[in-house]
A and B are shown apart, each in its own frame.
Chain A
Amino acid sequence: MIAAWGLNLQYGVAGVLNFGYIANLALGAYCYGVLTLGPDSGNGGFQSYIIGLHLPPVLAILAATAAGCLFGGLVSLIGMKRLRPDYQAIVLLVVAIVALTIVEADGGLFGGNAGLALIPNPVGGTGPATANGWVYVAIVAAVCAAGYLVLRRFSDGPLGRSLRAVRDDDRAALAIGKNVVGLRILVQVVGGGFAALSGAMLAGFIGAWSPSAWQFAETLSLLTAVIVGGMASNPGAVAGALLVPVIFEQATQYVPGLSSRPELAGDVGWMATAVLTIMFIWSRPQGILPDRRPRYGPAARRRTRFSLAPLAPARAQDGAPLRATPAPVGMRRDPVPAAAGGQAGTASAVPPGAPLLTVSGLTVRFGGVHALDAVSLETAAGTVTGLIGPNGAGKSTFVNVVSGFLRPESGRVIFNGRDITRDPPHRRAQAGLVRTFQLSRQFGRLTAIENLLVARQRHPAESLAGVLAGLRYWRAAEEENVARARGLLAAFEMSDKADEPASNLSGGERRMLELMRALMADPTMLVLDEPLAGLSPRWSARFEEAVSRLREQGLSFLLIEHELGIIERLCESVVVMARGRVLSIGTMAELRTQREVQEAYVAG
């Protein structure tokens, strides 16, 4: 069960598929064994142990768990170059196999192929713990309960939300300032610890451990438990952990002719587990007990513990400021509960009118083609700057470079007085430079309002202190967060969709959601990549109105659009790009008269 929780955290919640998970389990088991065995424990002397520490079991369990965390962290460093899930899974599997091979070959420390035996169990004495049955069950139950409380700190609440966001769309998560790599390492560490803990408990219980107990098939059966029980849901993992062994047993009873070949039982059991996994992936990937997302909408009546869904329905606030009142110039963000339920936005260190984003000499090459050729431009704080140009001009490439998703070969990006050329995407978002995507991205398995809640910068729940201190520490911040999100939803007339999974929303709704999410991230400057594509005229008008109002409140924009009308109405300054170069900069009126601009659009 403990192992299933850990795997659920890694895969169900955070989307990290770790085929090598069993290695952590084994590590825990080995650690426990190695640490608790004394030098005199060799049976008949043909197995002697180099480290014969003979530690008391409790210490050994803790040490094993710590080792598991460490191993998980180390392993994750290898796989963390933004690999796609199946590739990553295989990488982690290879690491586990390397570990396995080393262990099998090295007789000295870990007992080689034969494994360890006569491991003392926590209750006392050696051999299987059946004699002390009830005491052991009590211990296990206590460990499970403690484990669950720890688990919840990670899998539920705002941190769990962020992890799910990373799972659903890691690029979008980066764009709102989530440190994707850091979070993935975190779940590997925590999940690894859980695995090791369960391994240590198992070793103590069974009294022996050997390499044959930890092959890939075991990881798969844990995965089956997670998938069948319910992905990302802890009760689901429990259900799966209980069900899968049961199904294993049951399957073997019903195969005809089994009594004559009793050794078949295990094999058929494995085949049944495999079939079960495939069936669930096929027809019910969310499992038996799916992950239930907390509800915040006006209809929500129940308050779930970690979600703070308030009891009273919210009233739509008319004319509520779309973003919170900005703090005085120069002050970094601090949660200040304001009357409208907002908090201090990211102020620019730069006064209005002064250059906010300065880009110089950006060059990007794909093969022989210059996607960007020494592009330089500047946007002023508190203004809307337009970026136009025919398709293929390099506008989206430009956005990718400015937001950190693409490395330029040369050039610099200076934002808000700081050189951010080397910063990864999430740092830029945290600094106030937030982008949206041309094909709008959302966190499909989170509800609409959760998509907004997750964008909150530096949520106390996601800090170390938050994890340690728990709900009391970040309750206020979260309530404020929820109020602000509801206000935004009301302002954009989407309150009724608050509890819809984002994947159920229509195209136009998704675009607005993405805009709202970007606003929730306290931007100093918003880079919008063709935000009007797919929006009906009514929504486009609202959007334009929103941008206008936000500009009055001090937000700066870089707007990439094909619809020249909105560009003309909104933008103080417009940049024209074509074929990777900046053609011209000026007001729409000026640009209309320039021949190169006209030709660029016609010639493409």
Chain B
Amino acid sequence: MSIFVAAVGFGIASGAVIALASLGFTLQFGLSNTLNIAYGGFITLATFLGYGLIQLGLGPWPVMAVIAVATGILSVLYYRLFIRSLIRRSVGLGPLAIATAAALIFIEYAVVAVAGTDVKSYGLTSGRTFRLWYITWSGTQVTIIVLALALMLAFQLLLRMTQLGRALRATAVNRTLARSCGIRAERVTSTAWLISGLLCGIAGVALAMTTQAFDFNIGSNFLILVIAAAVVGGIGEPYGAMAGGFVIGITTELSAAYWSPAYSDVIAFGLLIVILLIRPTGILGGQARRRNVVT
């Protein structure tokens, strides 16, 4: 029992980060109908840029804020200059996916070129530990969990209660109809990419803060978990992404505890495959069906 609860605790901590990243990923899908594989590259970018800033002496939390903004801006630029142009050229879904994958490779190897392939670490001390029942969390983890929950709550409020949120939902569901209602779909989409970039940056830094060490593969490794979370929850659905993040986080930790750490990811992916077989649209899968992800 104690193992179970402890594992769940770890799962909540890692799940929080996955949920944030997954939310960003699913936003990009929802607004632009793109499975942006380069998202992993942005994660890597965020962690490494953060590393650079940490080396310069900044504290981890200011770094997170700075990187979030930086990734947000980069994300919008990426959308405007790259994704949008490809979509406008009607390249097709397959080629678009390949292009984003190529972008991922580009970013990753650019990072390698600058920073090398050796393992890096933020080198943070773990600070205080919190114990709740059988759960053990470090101070950093607690802050991240709280931050993640706060951000998710803020996002929910944004979606439900603000003009922008309504515009986001409308554009995601039916772009043409949204435009004929006076919504500036392009502006809304760019904002969505900005938000997703922010989330991506925060998640990237948080990831580096909670891992011992990382290398240039961190983004692509994490990306698979992010995609799994998004798909399990129902691609395109923000609530699904958030729930999916925690599901994947907890599942991974449980399998690491009960089976073997080496196989922890495999269980999560197994779950993904099972979901794809039984209910490919995910738990909350409205958008997936609408976008013809599964016909």
Contact = CB atoms under 8 A, between A and B. Distances in A.
Interface of A: 11, 15, 17, 19, 78-79, 81-87, 89-91, 93-95, 97-98, 101-102, 104-105, 216-217, 220, 223-224, 227, 263-264, 266-268, 270-271, 273-275, 277-278, 281-282, 285
Contacts of A87: 35, 235, 293-294
B99 interface: yes
B94 A271 contact: no
A281 B82 CA distance: 12
A105 B113 contact: no
Contact of A273 (B85, B94, B105, B294): B105
Interface string B86-118: 100101111111110111011011101100100
B94 A101 contact: no
A84 B29 CA distance: 13
Sorted nearest first, the 6 A-B pairs with minimum C-beta distance are A86-B97, A105-B262, A85-B94, A274-B106, A274-B102, A270-B109
A266 B109 CA distance: 9
A362 to B, nearest CB: 21
Nearest to A104: B262
Given A81-B280, A267-B109, A282-B89, 20 more contacts: A15-B94, A17-B94, A17-B98, A81-B277, A84-B293, A84-B294, A90-B227, A94-B269, A98-B270, A101-B266, A102-B266, A217-B105, A263-B116, A270-B106, A270-B109, A273-B102, A275-B102, A277-B98, A277-B102, A278-B103
B265 interface: yes
Contacts of A93: 224
Given A102-B266, A270-B109, A281-B91, A94 B273 contact: yes
Given A271-B113, A281-B91, A98 B293 contact: no
B294 A83 contact: yes
Contacts of A15: 94
Interface in B277-295: 277, 280, 291-295
Q: How large is the interface on B (under 10, 10 to 19, 20 to 34, 35 or more residues)?
A: 35 or more
B134 interface: no
Contact of A270 (B86, B103, B105): B105
Interface in B201-219: none
Contacts of B292: 84
Given A86-B94, A275-B106, A282 B224 contact: no
A83 B96 contact: no
B26 interface: no
By secondary structure, the A interface counts as helix
A79 B293 CA distance: 12
Nearest to A102: B266
Contacts of B150: none
B269 A271 contact: no
Contacts of B270: 98
A282 B91 contact: yes
Contacts of A83: 280, 293-295
Contacts of B75: none
Given A78-B277, A90-B35, A94-B272, A267 B113 contact: yes
Nearest to A93: B224
A224 B123 CA distance: 39
B220 interface: yes
Given A101-B265, A274-B105, A281 B99 contact: yes
Nearest to A85: B94
18 contacts: A81-B280, A85-B93, A86-B94, A86-B96, A94-B269, A98-B269, A98-B273, A101-B269, A102-B266, A105-B260, A217-B105, A268-B109, A270-B108, A277-B98, A278-B102, A278-B106, A281-B102, A282-B85
B258 interface: no
Contacts of A102: 263, 266
Nearest to B82: A278
Contact of A281 (B98, B113, B224, B280): B98
Interface in B133-170: none
Interface of B: 34-35, 37, 85-86, 89, 91-99, 101-103, 105-106, 108-110, 112-113, 116, 220, 224, 227-228, 235, 260, 262-263, 265-266, 269-270, 272-273, 276-277, 280, 291-295
A227 B105 CA distance: 16
B97 A85 contact: yes
A78 B273 contact: yes
Contacts of B224: 93-94, 97
A129 to B, nearest CB: 29
A292 B272 CA distance: 40
Nearest to A224: B102
B102 A285 contact: no
B227 A220 contact: no
A94 B228 CA distance: 9
Contacts of B265: 97, 101
Given A86-B94, A101-B266, A285-B95, A271 B105 contact: yes
Given A17-B97, A82-B294, A94-B269, A271 B276 contact: no
B276 A91 contact: yes
Contacts of A94: 224, 227-228, 269, 272-273
Given A81-B276, A81-B294, A282-B86, A11 B94 contact: yes
Given A95-B273, A270-B109, A86 B93 contact: yes
A85 B93 CA distance: 6
A71 to B, nearest CB: 15
Contacts of B95: 227, 281, 285
B35 A86 contact: yes
Nearest to B35: A86
Given A17-B97, A220-B101, A285 B269 contact: no
Contacts of A98: 266, 269-270, 273
A216 B220 contact: yes
Which of A79, A81, A102, A281 has the most B CB atoms < 10 Å from its CB?
A281
Contacts of A285: 91-92, 95
Nearest to B36: A86
Contacts of B110: 267, 271
A76 to B, nearest CB: 13
Contacts of B116: 263
Given A83-B280, A95-B273, A273-B105, A223 B98 contact: yes
Given A97-B269, A105-B263, A220 B93 contact: no
Nearest to B217: A215
Contact of B101 (A19, A78, A91, A282): A19
A361 B295 CA distance: 25
Nearest to B216: A267
A217 to B, nearest CB: 6
Given A83-B280, A94-B224, A282-B86, A101 B263 contact: yes
